[in-house]
Structure 1
Amino acid sequence: MDSTSARRLTVLKGHLECKGVSPAACNSMQSSAPMSSSKNEVQKAFPRERQDVVKWNGWGYKDSGFTINDKGNAQFLGKRYAIGGQELPYFRKWMEDNVSLDINQTSFSQPRPPPEAIPAPNLPSQAFIDEITHHCKTYTDTPDDRVFRSHGHTCHELFSLRTGKVGRIPDLVVWPRTHNDVEVIVQAALKHNVCLIPFGGGTNVSGALQCPPEEQRPIVSLDMTEMDKILWIDEENLTVCVEAGCVGQDLERRLREVGFMTGHEPDSLEFSTVGGWVATRSSGMKKNIYGNIEDLLVRVRMVTPRGTLERNVLGPRNSIGPDVQHFILGSEGILGVITEVTMRIRPLPETRKYGSVVFPSFQPGVNFMREVARQRCAPASIRLMDNWQFQMGQAMKPAVSLFKSFTDALKKLYITKFKGFDPYEMVACTLLFEGSAEEVAANEQKIYEIAKRFGGVPAGEENGRRGYLFTFVVAYIRDFGFDYTYLAESFETSVPWSRVSELIRNVKSCVRKECSQQGIMVQDQPLISARVTQTYDAGACIYFYLVFNYAGHNDPIRAFDEIENAARDEILASGGSLSHHHGVGKIRKQWMEQTISRPGVEILKAIKDRVDPQNIFGAGNLIPN
């Protein structure tokens, strides 16, 4: 027996355990294994009826979000997050002062449309249903299930839902449970000319899940979240094989039970799936140590109309021509359905420590980030926020004790008076260190020494912790804004270091100019903010937030689309990429030829035509019309 077959492959409680078998053999056994019914199995993130837990027309959990309480103060609801249940006494005033918030000017969401208001499904033939029934015992055409899986989280999609505009939606939702189920469904769709759109966490912000309105065939949504098992963990070679429908937070929790982690932590970790990470080429907040998804990927299986595409080896590198797995990475559901992903894992770090630094203005902060990248000493996460985000973070602090208020005032006095920092210019950088105690201590010392060279002042562990965890609640602010006539969106790019500051300046100027032309320029509006979120040797990722009040505008979504398009034009003109990690979907595909050249687009089309000549995977993403 060779070393591969002799080693133990650990599989978590409640799932089949493979001992003394190869990964391929373990895959085969797992594909035919029934779902576990163990009472001891940890409950997964979401039940099949995830709309019972998650908002149908907004971000995140139904029981979480910002509101104005009876005392007129902002408050975060629920108990899922660190700020849950806490009153935020400074946030409302900051919103009033900076974006002209008027809590009497509301635009609360319309109720969920009644079933009779939802277009009747154009169901596939009975022959299709009969063929998939034995391999997919759960399917539905109920309006709630169909609407929930008809959209992602672009501003356009959510605003439309909140105003009662549903549009084209899937006609049927199915839940495959194994790789073999998916193969049968794809072949049935091919035989009966059915359009398939894979659905994972539904968190994409590129319009990728929108059903093409011109599609006349029945559209079937493949909800992959029943395929959420960890198939095996190879502790010797530090790899895990997981089904593509596993939600990120579930994967990390299960790995922690046996002392491991992937280290992949996108902002959407709570809701996005492993298959979605691969399909969109995602990036996480801790990529500096653990890498982006393409760095973590070892092997992937995808069912296409031509059959299952996979690589037969688990070696760390191969010289076998163009890597077919890179056709799957970033394919955005146009070639097939990702069913299994093998990823690299790491033992849990011994030490995890937060930190933060404040700088007098944005440029010294950028110079600091560039030097950290040059010396290749970046901690797990390092993110530089501009003054707008710094101010908002301070405004979102909860009510504190008198002593805490006093000590915070002393710190502010030191930074603003004795160090000469202007509160309306200063910026903050949040840090997360992971590793052994010795590694973290050495990394901290080096990072703070570099920061000092660029005028940075350490701002404490707690500010770093709050800044890092703030990432998981910031998306809820958009839903709060929707309630008070605001539109908001994030968009991102990557750019060489020499163009970082120039690109940010140009995009902010462009957005303000376009808003003015669209009739959106009230007091200090719009608010356009930026942060540097990931660093590389040759450049960085820049993440923008755009917020404006649309009250009185006749067609706010059209205006928003034109503003966002103008921003993307400016990003490309300033040397930025089309996307760093959000992907292309439908809303950015008009720039693909400009980005990868006409021959590049023709190669994509040739692959699509060869792999899926009937356009079974007809979501219409990535490739321009």
Structure 2
Amino acid sequence: MPATATDPGTSRTRSWWGWGYADAHPDDAECAALGALLPGTLDRPLPIPRIADLPIAAPAATPPPSLAHLVTADPPARAAHAMGKAYRDVIRALRGRPGRIPDLVAHPAGDQDVADLLDWAGEHQVAVIPFGGGSSVVGGVEYRGDTHRAVLSLDLTSMNRVLEIDTASRSARIQAGALGPVLEARLRPHGLTLRHFPQSFEFSTLGGWLATRAGGHYATGPTHIDDFVQSLNVITPAGAGTSWRLPASGAGPSPDRLFLGSEGALGVITEAWMRLQERPRHKASASVAFSDFHRALDAVRAIARSGLAPANCRLLDPGEALFAGACDDGSTVLVLGFESATGPVGDRLTSAVDLARAHGGHGRTRAAADDTTADWAVSAWRSAFLRMPYLRDGLARMGAVVETFETAATWDRIPALIADVRSDVGAAALKATGYPATVNCRLTHVYPDGAAPYFTVAVAGRPGEEVEVWDDIKAVANEVLHRHRATITHHHAVGRDHRPAYDLQRPEPFALALHAAKDALDPHRILNPGVLLD
């Protein structure tokens, strides 16, 4: 399904230039109201870009007749596959500078189609960019460079079926092009769920989650897609392979681990056996306020080590809580949620709230156990969580620089890491723009040994130079993360935007092994060039 198509089961059209659905974007008046919140933004919003205004050249390659039915050179399809959905992508589209637009878009229907397309591309030096929902925020689905004759975007969303469900083993064989809502709709009649709900859930695919080692919504317990994989089927230019479907194995290095997180640079994941869970029937949630952010960090660490395993354990600093509508009094807010398929969760929620209060938490109203409607702060946060990408795009139309980045570090580094990001990134934004920036933080995932801070930066940009401003700010952010030995990404992947920092994070012997794997599996170097490797 091209990114500009109408989604199955709806009459809504995906936006080619921005996040999500075209009809969900803020209108001009709302954009102006958002811009008024940041000093220095434009007087009026940038116009919504039109595909007709883009410089889309004739394709530089033509597929053979045997593949022609799989491939299109339609300009709207090509434009929709040119970039992901990062701030850099949105502002480039708004400014009419989308970068290299793919020459062709392919929609394979099965493994043989993928293999045939890779064979043709290898013979003719055509770069192949695997594409799922197109929600990458790190430059993972675009081509940068000039070393290939042409660029083919390989859209897998026609391969979207749940092929088998094994209820005895509680697992399913699913094609990689299945979007989140499609996948869950087909599991629901069986009372099962993959239970993987990233913020991009509506607009991303199983294959994309696997190729980027995506993290889901849940703050503790199994949350990375890695945790749910039984086996993978992968098509590479050197051949196809399927790993054995096993609950666990100690037979050498895991073949699945080679392709999880490989971002399409080593092969194309076409299907996977995935571990499933029963759908939860019992839910409860609450929020707790703190006047001291550092005491709130201590509370979250205690909850993460308690064995209570909350499904949600989001800590919002005062700025993040205000923006989400979770509070307006300068408090830090902890959002807690529990769920279970087997029994009530009220006692676990009570224990978590008691732990939070023992560390200085106070004064929030708790939802009743097994009540699926949360207290007002929890409800406000959920609504804001889903709306945030659209608001970012509205601010981008006002010339603002608004973007996020995330990381993970051990608990001993977390307080200084957060403080240095706030100070150094804020200073970098002020230097780049002349305007003070908002730098907010929330914890999205927590572990007994560490946490994943997620930062939001908002500042007025320099008109026409918004990309350069963000690149300067992000370079400073990367330096801070490296200084504290915090990962360049907890769940957003590497892509092209994180390459410099990824090169510093990975051990040199592993880099040598990765290069060797690339040479063996992709000898013509056509698969997603520039991702993970030069």
Band the TM-score falls in, shorter-chain normalisation: over 0.9
Larger radius of gyration between Structure 1 and Structure 2: 1
* Counterpart Cα distance in 1 of 2:95 and 2:129: 25
Distance 1:392 1:115, change over 3 A: closer
Secondary structure in structure 2 of the residue aligned to 1:130 = coil
1:116 to partner: Cα distance: 7.7
Residues 383-422 of structure 1 aligned to structure 2 (within 5 Å): 383-394=314-325
Percent of residue pairs bearing the same amino acid type = 29
* Counterpart Cα distance in 1 of 2:72 and 2:11: 14
For residues 510-558 of structure 1, give each alpha carbon's deviation from its aligned partner in whole angstroms, at most 9, with x where no partner exists.
112212322x233xx201111011011211111111111115x562321
Q: Which residue of 1 aligns with 2:94?
A: 162
* Counterpart Cα distance in 2 of 1:252 and 1:362: 37
1:567 to 468, 474, 477: 477
- Partner amino acid, structure 1, of 2:131: F
Secondary structure in structure 2 of the residue aligned to 1:151 = coil
For residues 118-175 of structure 1, give each alpha carbon's deviation from its aligned partner in whole angstroms, at most 9, with x where no partner exists.
2221123xxx422324xxx332101111111010012222211111113211111111
The answer to whether the Cα contact below 8 Å between 2:291 and 2:332 also exists between their aligned partners in 1 is yes
Larger CA deviation: 597-606 vs 167-176? 597-606
Q: Which residue of 1 aligns with 2:445?
A: 534
How many residues are paired up?
522
For residues 355-387 of structure 1, give each alpha carbon's deviation from its aligned partner in whole angstroms, at most 9, with x where no partner exists.
211111211211111001111213111100110
The answer to whether the Cα contact below 8 Å between 1:593 and 1:600 also exists between their aligned partners in 2 is no
Q: Which residue of 1 aligns with 2:257?
A: 326
For residues 458-479 of structure 1, give each alpha carbon's deviation from its aligned partner in whole angstroms, at most 9, with x where no partner exists.
3442321331342211111111
User: Unpaired segments of 5 or more residues in structure 2?
Assistant: 367-373
2:428 to 494, 500, 514: 514
Residues 36-51 of structure 1 aligned to structure 2 (within 5 Å): 46=7
* Counterpart Cα distance in 2 of 1:373 and 1:45: 41
> Taking structure 2 as the reference length, what is the TM-score of the superposition?
0.92
* Counterpart Cα distance in 2 of 1:187 and 1:557: 36
1:177 to 98, 109, 121: 109
Distance 1:536 1:530, change over 3 A: same
Distance 1:531 1:116, change over 3 A: closer
Secondary structure in structure 2 of the residue aligned to 1:498 = coil
1:309 to 222, 232, 241: 241
Distance 1:285 1:178, change over 3 A: same
* Counterpart Cα distance in 2 of 1:213 and 1:497: 40
Q: Which residue of 1 aligns with 2:283?
A: 352
* Counterpart Cα distance in 2 of 1:116 and 1:380: 44
* Counterpart Cα distance in 1 of 2:256 and 2:137: 23
Residues 67-466 of structure 1 aligned to structure 2 (within 5 Å): 67=27, 69=29, 74=30, 92=33, 96=36, 99-100=38-39, 105-114=43-52, 117-124=55-62, 128-133=63-68, 137-286=69-218, 288-311=220-243, 313-394=244-325, 423-424=329-330, 426-436=331-341, 438-457=343-362, 458-460=364-366, 461-462=374-375, 463-466=377-380
Q: Which residue of 1 aligns with 2:23?
A: 63
The answer to whether the Cα contact below 8 Å between 1:149 and 1:202 also exists between their aligned partners in 2 is yes
User: Unpaired segments of 5 or more residues in structure 1?
Assistant: 1-43, 76-90, 396-411, 413-421
1:353 to partner: Cα distance: 2.5
1:287 to partner: Cα distance: 5.2
The answer to whether the Cα contact below 8 Å between 1:110 and 1:163 also exists between their aligned partners in 2 is no
The answer to whether the Cα contact below 8 Å between 2:401 and 2:469 also exists between their aligned partners in 1 is no
Secondary structure in structure 1 of the residue aligned to 2:300 = helix
1:436 to partner: Cα distance: 4.7
1:248 to partner: Cα distance: 0.8
1:258 to partner: Cα distance: 2.0
- Partner amino acid, structure 2, of 1:510: D
* Counterpart Cα distance in 2 of 1:486 and 1:282: 28
The answer to whether the Cα contact below 8 Å between 2:164 and 2:172 also exists between their aligned partners in 1 is yes
Larger CA deviation: 481-490 vs 106-115? 106-115
Distance 1:155 1:291, change over 3 A: closer
Q: Which residue of 1 aligns with 2:371?
A: none
* Counterpart Cα distance in 2 of 1:280 and 1:116: 29
User: Is 1:616 aligned with 2:526?
Assistant: yes
1:101 to partner: Cα distance: 7.3
For residues 60-109 of structure 1, give each alpha carbon's deviation from its aligned partner in whole angstroms, at most 9, with x where no partner exists.
1011133465xxxx59xxxxxxxxxxxxxxx959x74x52376x712313
Question: RMSD of the alignment, in Å?
Answer: 2.5
* Counterpart Cα distance in 1 of 2:20 and 2:342: 35
Secondary structure in structure 2 of the residue aligned to 1:288 = coil
Q: Which residue of 2 aligns with 1:31?
A: none
* Counterpart Cα distance in 1 of 2:193 and 2:129: 30
The answer to whether the Cα contact below 8 Å between 2:73 and 2:105 also exists between their aligned partners in 1 is yes
* Counterpart Cα distance in 2 of 1:238 and 1:150: 38
The answer to whether the Cα contact below 8 Å between 1:300 and 1:310 also exists between their aligned partners in 2 is yes
1:588 to 480, 492, 498: 498
- Partner amino acid, structure 1, of 2:304: A
* Counterpart Cα distance in 2 of 1:67 and 1:528: 25
Secondary structure in structure 2 of the residue aligned to 1:470 = helix
1:195 to partner: Cα distance: 1.9
* Counterpart Cα distance in 2 of 1:111 and 1:316: 49
